[in-house]
C-alpha cells in the first residue's frame, strides 16, 4: 500500500501544480511541500491561493510555496505564466496538470472553446507545450495529467462540437475532456519516446473523492452518487494516484493510475484501466494536430 509516507526527500525539486489551492491539487501540493520541494501553486484566484498557503503552512512543510496566477481558460495568459516560469526557474522536475472543472453550466473559454474541453485539456496542452523545452532538458522530469473514469463514457472526440456547436450535455463534454487528457498523455509519451526526450508522460485519476469538483452537480445527482458509491474518499487519498505517478520508481511512461478498489472508485494507487479510444494512436494524432493548430504550438 503506497501512501505519501513513501515519498522521499524532495529538496531541490521544483514542482508545478495547477489548481493547487483546493481539493486534489491542495493535497498534492501539501505532500510535496512536506518533503521539501519548491512548489509553484498555479491558481486562478489570488485570494483563494493565499488562503491555501496559510492553510498549508499551518499543516507544516519543509519546502517553499510560491503563488503564480494561471487562468487555463485564456491561452494568452497561459503563455504569460509560462514565460515567467521559464525566466524564474532553471529547471522543472514535475508538472501536475491537475486543475479542472466538472459539469458546469454551458460556457466558453476566452478563446471560444467549450469550457471543460478548454480548461481540462486544451489549457493544459498549451501549458505543457510552453514549458516543454525546460522539462525535456531535465532528465527524469515527469508530466502527470489528470483524467477520470468518465473517459470511458465516450468513444471519440467530436471535433465539430468543441465550441458548443450542438446542444450542451454537461457530462458528455466532461467525459470528452477526460478522454482528451488520456489521449494527450499517451500521444505525448509516443512522441517524446520517438524524439529521445528522457521525461515521462503519465496520467492518474482520483476515484470518488470528497472535493469541490462536484460543486456544479445538482443536489439530487450528488445525493444519488453518494448513495451509489458510499462514503467518498478524503481528498488526501484521492491525490495518491497522481503522487504515485509523479514520484514512484515503479512507473513507466504512458501509464495510468487510479485507486485499486472495486471499479477503481476507492483505495490506494494501482495501474488503472484505459478504454481503447484512449490509447488509439490515430485518434491521439488527430487530437494533437487539432491542439497544435489552435494553440500555435509545435512540440516535442
Question: The cell 507545450 sits on which residue?
Answer: 129
174 is catalytic: yes
- Contact by Cβ (8 Å): 75, 50: no
Annotated active-site residue in 132, 174, 222, 256: 174
Kindly give, in sequence order, each residue whose CB lies less than 8 Å from that of residue 229, ignoring residues fewer than 6 positions away. 208, 265, 266
Query: Which residue from 99, 46, 101 is spatially nearest to 69, judged by alpha carbons?
Result: 46
The dihedral sign for the CA sequence 82, 298, 109, 170: negative
- Contact by Cβ (8 Å): 159, 286: yes
Cell digits of residue 115: 469550457
Phi, psi at 284, each rounded to 5°? -60, -40
Strand 38-43: give its sheet, edge to edge.
Answer: 64-69, 38-43, 14-18, 94-97, 142-146, 200-204, 256-259, 269-271
Residues annotated as catalytic (active site), given as ranges: 174
Amino acid at each position: 500500500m503506497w501512501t505519501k509516507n513513501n515519498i522521499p526527500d524532495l529538496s531541490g525539486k521544483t514542482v508545478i501544480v495547477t489548481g493547487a489551492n483546493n481539493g486534489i491539487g491542495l493535497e498534492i501540493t501539501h505532500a510535496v511541500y512536506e518533503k521539501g520541494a519548491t512548489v509553484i501553486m498555479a491558481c486562478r484566484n489570488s485570494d483563494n491561493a493565499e488562503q491555501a498557503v496559510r492553510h498549508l503552512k499551518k499543516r507544516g512543510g519543509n519546502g517553499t510555496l510560491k503563488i503564480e496566477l494561471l487562468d487555463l481558460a485564456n491561452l494568452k495568459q497561459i503563455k504569460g505564466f509560462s514565460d515567467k516560469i521559464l525566466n524564474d526557474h532553471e529547471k522543472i522536475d514535475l508538472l501536475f496538470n491537475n486543475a479542472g472543472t466538472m459539469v458546469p453550466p454551458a460556457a466558453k473559454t476566452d478563446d471560444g472553446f467549450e469550457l471543460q474541453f478548454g480548461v481540462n485539456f486544451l489549457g493544459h496542452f498549451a501549458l505543457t507545450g510552453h514549458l516543454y523545452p525546460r522539462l525535456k532538458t531535465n532528465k527524469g522530469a515527469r508530466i502527470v495529467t489528470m483524467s477520470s473514469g468518465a473517459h470511458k463514457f465516450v468513444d471519440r472526440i467530436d471535433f465539430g462540437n468543441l465550441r458548443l456547436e450542438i446542444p450542451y450535455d454537461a457530462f458528455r463534454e466532461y467525459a470528452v475532456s477526460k478522454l482528451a487528457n488520456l489521449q494527450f498523455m499517451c500521444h505525448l509519451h509516443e512522441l517524446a519516446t520517438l524524439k529521445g526526450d528522457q521525461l515521462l508522460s503519465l496520467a492518474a485519476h482520483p476515484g470518488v473523492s470528497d472535493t469541490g469538483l462536484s460543486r456544479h452537480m445538482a443536489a439530487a445527482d450528488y445525493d444519488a452518487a453518494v448513495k451509489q458509491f458510499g462514503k467518498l474518499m478524503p481528498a488526501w487519498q484521492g491525490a495518491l494516484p497522481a503522487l504515485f505517478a509523479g514520484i514512484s520508481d515503479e512507473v513507466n511512461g504512458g501509464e495510468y493510475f487510479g485507486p485499486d478498489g472495486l471499479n477503481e472508485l476507492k483505495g490506494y494507487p494501482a495501474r488503472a484501466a484505459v478504454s481503447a479510444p484512449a490509447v488509439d494512436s490515430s485518434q491521439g494524432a488527430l487530437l494533437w494536430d487539432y491542439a497544435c493548430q489552435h494553440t500555435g504550438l509545435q512540440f516535442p
